[in-house]
Structure 1
Amino acid sequence: MNRRKALKGLLLLGGSGAAILGGIKGYRLFRSPDLQQLSHYRPLIAELAETIIPRTDTPGAKDAGVPDFIITMIKDCTPLRIQNRFMDGLEDVVHYAHAQYGHSFFACSQEQRHNILAHFEKRDRPYSGLPGKVSRKLFGDTFFITLKHYTVQGYCTSMQGATQALAYDYVPGRYQGCATLEPGQKCWAT
């Protein structure tokens, strides 16, 4: 066997392997997700959101109705590829909690929950620069970015979040373009 034939064979094998993997990845991104499973995952979404914004002296994410907001946003306002990534991410959380700690996410301690979310935050961190822009454009946002974005958006636009966690002024006064912040001052909701 000569080198040219061997090289052609290796390139053909590598190219076909890459095409197969690309096809599988494309199928996983653009298939129709089973959005009926979101209601099954509602308790998990609630606990994940509560871990991101826990109840302290202000209401937590569950109190503000964030899980229902996330489910509505995923079903009605999210592109197909991000829906698939979100559903796959929920399954990954379930499997990772079992593999890492031997029980479900619900049975994990607060520290273990933080460790699980830290793992997914590190795993789903976007690339920087041009590769990150291309990846985001082709594949959409990752699971953790979508979860965190919808959690914060749902919390800050809820009645509890806007009035109790943020500074809320029902009828704001005149516009001040530059105002100094005082120590301990809340962000403005209006």
Structure 2
Amino acid sequence: MNRRKALGNIMLLAGAGAAAWSGIRLGKLYSTPNLGKLQAHAALITELAETIIPATDTPGAKAAGVTPFIIRMIRDCTPRKEQNRFLMGLDEVEDYAKRHYNHSFARCNIEQRLAIADHFERRDRPYKGITGKISHKVMGDPFFVIMKKYTVIGYCSSMEGATRGLVYDYVPGHYAGAVRLKPGQKAWATE
């Protein structure tokens, strides 16, 4: 057989394999998501949110009760492709924890959880430029971007987060466009 023809056939086969894999992946993203898995993963979502916003001298995401908020946002307010990416991401977090630390994410210690979160944050970092725009349009937001976004929104809009994590001005006074902050002062909770 001619070498050029053999190399051409190999390249054609590799291209067909890559196209098939991409088609399967896109098919999974646009299929109907199994949103019942969200309740099954509630403990994982809680622990991931607590890893993102841990309890310190202020309450963490777990104390603020962000898990029902995240589940509701995924179920009711997120596009189908991002719902699928989120559900696949939850499964991938569990698989990664079991592969590297031999138990589930919820049973990992703080250092292991931070390492797992760091891995997924680096993996899911959005692309820059036109590539990022195309990826966002076709694939939606990556898993960890969605998780962080809903964790922060849920925390900042919860009573614990707004009153104890941020400075909440319950009855604002007059408008002051530029206010000097004192050293160590918390950010304002009102927009």
Normalised to the residue count of structure 2, the TM-score between the two structures is 0.93
Q: How far 1:16 sits from its partner (Å)? A: 2.1
Read off the aligned partner of 2:74 and give its amino acid letter.
I
**DSSP 3-state at the match of 1:33:** coil
The answer to whether 1:79 aligns with 2:83 is: no
Q: How far 1:106 sits from its partner (Å)? A: 1.7
Q: How far 1:72 sits from its partner (Å)? A: 0.4
**DSSP 3-state at the match of 1:63:** helix
> After the TM superposition, which segments of 4 or more aligned residues of structure 1 sit over 4 Å from their partners?
1-8
Aligned length: 190
Read off the aligned partner of 2:30 and give its amino acid letter.
F
Residue in structure 1 matched with residue 16 of structure 2 by the alignment: 16
For residues 40 and 17 of structure 2, the distance between their equivalents in structure 1, rounded to whole angstroms, comes to 36
Residue in structure 2 matched with residue 98 of structure 1 by the alignment: 98
For residues 165 and 12 of structure 2, the distance between their equivalents in structure 1, rounded to whole angstroms, comes to 59
Read off the aligned partner of 2:176 and give its amino acid letter.
Q
Q: How far 1:105 sits from its partner (Å)? A: 1.2
Alignment of 1:1-190 (within 5 A): 1-2=1-2, 5-6=5-6, 9-190=9-190
Q: How far 1:11 sits from its partner (Å)? A: 4.9
**DSSP 3-state at the match of 1:21:** helix
For residues 115 and 155 of structure 1, the distance between their equivalents in structure 2, rounded to whole angstroms, comes to 22
Residues 111, 7 of structure 1: alpha-carbon distance in 2 compared, 3 angstrom cutoff: closer
Structure 1 unaligned spans of 5+: none
**DSSP 3-state at the match of 1:54:** coil
Read off the aligned partner of 1:89 and give its amino acid letter.
G
Give CA deviations for 1:72-120 in whole Å, capped at 9, x if unaligned: 0000000011011100110111111111111111221111111110111
Residues 146, 3 of structure 1: alpha-carbon distance in 2 compared, 3 angstrom cutoff: same
Read off the aligned partner of 2:132 and give its amino acid letter.
G
Read off the aligned partner of 2:70 and give its amino acid letter.
I
Q: How far 1:148 sits from its partner (Å)? A: 0.3
What's the % identity of the aligned pairs? 59
For residues 2 and 115 of structure 1, the distance between their equivalents in structure 2, rounded to whole angstroms, comes to 50
Q: How far 1:4 sits from its partner (Å)? A: 6.7
**DSSP 3-state at the match of 1:133:** helix
